[in-house]
Structure 1
């Protein structure tokens, strides 16, 4: 009798160990020059939504990161990240008012299904694809990179790269004014590099080669990443040039611009 109990106990311990291992399998850590942050991927496909079980759905491939909220900074980063992800869906006709990412995807599905009911002969298909990765982590800064593509009909969809720089200690989302100690000096440097790369002579209008900076004045892009070794600038489509020009990118060694950086 005791032998049977012992056998059952061994089986139980093996099962529990396997279960715990499985629950931790999706948790990853990003290690930089500071304490590691644990995160996991949250994913959504059409099969995850009830609305897709009875009607046709758009193409959905959503993968984003959530940090394990074992510290206040991680909670802040998750909050900012979710807010930024929801804004991706503001490229549709009606801006999303969703409270979380899954709700935003549900709205996207509903928009598509309403469109198909109103225009059953229309060939247009909707599509959303989102992916995220940790681009860099240092003692002070964590940088997330988000790539997305959204299509709701028309000649083409819209895709973009977005960077988010977070203060490791506070979890605060940092803006250009926070990243640079001398934003004007860095902007002047970046303009010289931009002109050099795109062959715009000094003294000529910055838009002379077909760019369309507002008021004919160079400006930094919305997307800046301050990584461990580099500072990366990305102008997404329509930000400084036509859709056909695609993404415009500048990248500088960090030691070359460190005198203007706070991080």
Structure 2
């Protein structure tokens, strides 16, 4: 009897250990200033929405990161990140009415279903795909990379990449002025490298090869990532060239531009 009890106890401990090990695999950690930031994947598919259970739905594949809100920095990161993700569905600059990513997807589903009611014979199908990952992390800076594609009719959908640079200690979302100690100097360097890559001689109009920078003046892209070893610039479609040109990318070794960086 005693031997049987001990055998059952060993099995219980083994199964408990397996469960703990499995649960830990879904949680990742980013080392911050003094303590670790933990994050996990949040996923949304059509099956997660009531409106998709009895009616046709768009294609939905949404995966993004959420930080465990055990410190103020994580709360701030989640707030900024959620706001940026919602803007994929609603490009309005003002604060959106949607309070969460799930609410934004629900609105996307309703828009699609209303469209199908108005145009039941249309073959057009809506689609949204979002994926997110930690591109880089140091003790001071964390960079999220978001790739997305959204289609709501027309000749083609729109896909883009977005970077978000966060101060690890405060959780603040950093803009270009925060990342660089001398933004003008970095911009001048980036323009020289851009001209070199796309073979635009110095003194020639920056739009001479078909680009369309506003007022014929070189500008930095919206998306800049300051990683552990590099500074990456990405111009999404329509930002500096036509849709057909696709994404334009520049990448510099960090030691080449370190004199103008704050991080």
Classify the TM-score, shorter chain: over 0.9
Match in the other structure for 1:145: 145
Distance 2:36 2:258 in 1: 25
Aligned length: 261
Distance 2:225 2:34 in 1: 19
The 4+ residue runs of structure 1 with deviation greater than 3 A are: 1-23, 30-36
Task: Give the conservation status (yes or no) of the 8 Å contact 2:141–2:168.
Answer: yes
1:129 CA displacement: 0.4
Residue 112 (structure 1) aligned with residue 134 (structure 2): no
The alpha-carbon distance between structure 1 residues 51 and 40, as it changes in their structure 2 partners (threshold 3 A), is: same
Distance 1:120 1:133 in 2: 37
Distance 2:156 2:32 in 1: 39
1:70 CA displacement: 2.1
Distance 2:6 2:110 in 1: 55
Residue 80 (structure 1) aligned with residue 83 (structure 2): no
The alpha-carbon distance between structure 1 residues 203 and 221, as it changes in their structure 2 partners (threshold 3 A), is: same
Task: Give the conservation status (yes or no) of the 8 Å contact 2:32–2:168.
Answer: no
Match in the other structure for 2:169: 169
Task: Give the conservation status (yes or no) of the 8 Å contact 2:74–2:171.
Answer: yes
Query: In the TM superposition, what whole-angstrom CA distance separates every residue of 1:18-70 from its partner, at most 9, and x where no partner exists?
Result: 44334333111235897542211000111111111100111111010111222
Task: Give the conservation status (yes or no) of the 8 Å contact 1:165–1:174.
Answer: yes
What TM-score, normalized to structure 2?
0.92
Distance 1:135 1:36 in 2: 17
What TM-score, normalized to structure 1?
0.92
Distance 1:76 1:10 in 2: 44
What does 1:193-232 align with in structure 2 at a 5 Å threshold? 193-232=193-232
Q: Counterpart of 1:173 in 2: which secondary structure? A: coil
Distance 1:195 1:29 in 2: 40
Q: Give the gaps of 5 or more residues in structure 2.
A: none
Query: In the TM superposition, what whole-angstrom CA distance separates every residue of 1:131-180 from its partner, at most 9, and x where no partner exists?
Result: 00101111210000000000001100000000000001101000000000
Higher mean C-alpha displacement, 103-112 vs 20-29: 20-29
The alpha-carbon distance between structure 1 residues 34 and 194, as it changes in their structure 2 partners (threshold 3 A), is: farther
Q: Give the gaps of 5 or more residues in structure 1.
A: none
Higher mean C-alpha displacement, 14-23 vs 157-166: 14-23
Residue 67 (structure 1) aligned with residue 64 (structure 2): no
1:124 CA displacement: 0.5
Residue 184 (structure 1) aligned with residue 184 (structure 2): yes
Task: Give the conservation status (yes or no) of the 8 Å contact 2:33–2:169.
Answer: no
Q: Counterpart of 2:90 in 1: which secondary structure? A: helix
Distance 1:164 1:77 in 2: 10
The CA RMSD over aligned residues, in Å, is 2.1
